[in-house]
Amino acid sequence: MPSILVRDAQDITDAERAACQSLWRRTFAPNPAEQASRPPDPACDNTPTIYVMLRGDDDSLLGACNWIDREIEVAGTRHRIAGLAGVSIEEAHRGNGLGAQMIRGAIAAAAERGFDFGVLFCGPHRRAFYGRLGWRLLEGDLKVTRHGADGPPEEDNLVMALPLSPSAERQFTDWIHTPIHLGIGQW
C-alpha cells in the first residue's frame, strides 16, 4: 500500500530531493525554445517549500508534488496560501488513482500546517481531475508578476483554489469572481 511522506525543504534528504527532481525532469521535460523565451524569474528563488512524496511498499518514489508557501492578494487583502506545484506520478503507475491519493495526502498536510487555501495552475485537460478533488476554478481578474511586470496568467493555464478550513470555505464565494493577484511567477 503506497504511503505519503511529507518533508519541509530543509528536512528532505539528498536522496529524496534527487529522486523528486529526477521525476520532475522526466515529467516536465523543458522545451529549449520555451525556456529561451521564458527565462526564470529570480524573484521566485528561496520560496519555502514542503515536499509531498508518494512512496511504494519497497520505498521507491511513485510520485511527488510540493506546496509553496506564498502570499496572494484577494480583493486587496493579503492571504497566505499553499501553492500546489510539480504534481507528478511515475509513468508506469499512472491511471490507477495514485495521483488522487497523493493530492489528498498533500491537502491534509497543508491543512495540518495551518494553510487556509490551496491554489494551483493547471492546463484545461486537468480541470476535471482537480474538480473531482474539490478544487474550483477562479474566474475573476487574475494577475501574476513576472520579471517585475503584472499581467494575466499564461494563456493555457487555469487557476483553481481549494478552501482548507471552515473559515476559508465561508470566504471562498468571495474569491470566485474577485480580482486576485497571485504574486510572483507561476509555481
- Tens of pLDDT along 42-88? 656 667 899 999 999 999 999 999 999 999 999 888 999 999 999 99
Q: Which CATH superfamily is domain 3-184 in?
A: Gcn5-related N-acetyltransferase (GNAT) (3.40.630.30)
Q: Domain-by-domain residue ranges, the chain?
A: 3-184
- Tens of pLDDT along 126-178? 999 999 999 999 999 999 988 778 889 988 889 999 999 999 999 998 898 99
- Tens of pLDDT along 3-24? 999 999 999 999 999 999 999 9
DSSP class of 124: G
C-alpha cell at 65: 508534488
What is the pTM for the complete model shown? Answer: 0.89
How does DSSP assign 74-115, residue by residue?
A: ETTEEEEEEEEEEEEE-GGGTTSSHHHHHHHHHHHHHHHTT-
CB atoms within 10 A of CB 76: 8
Contact 102, 56 (CB under 8 A): no
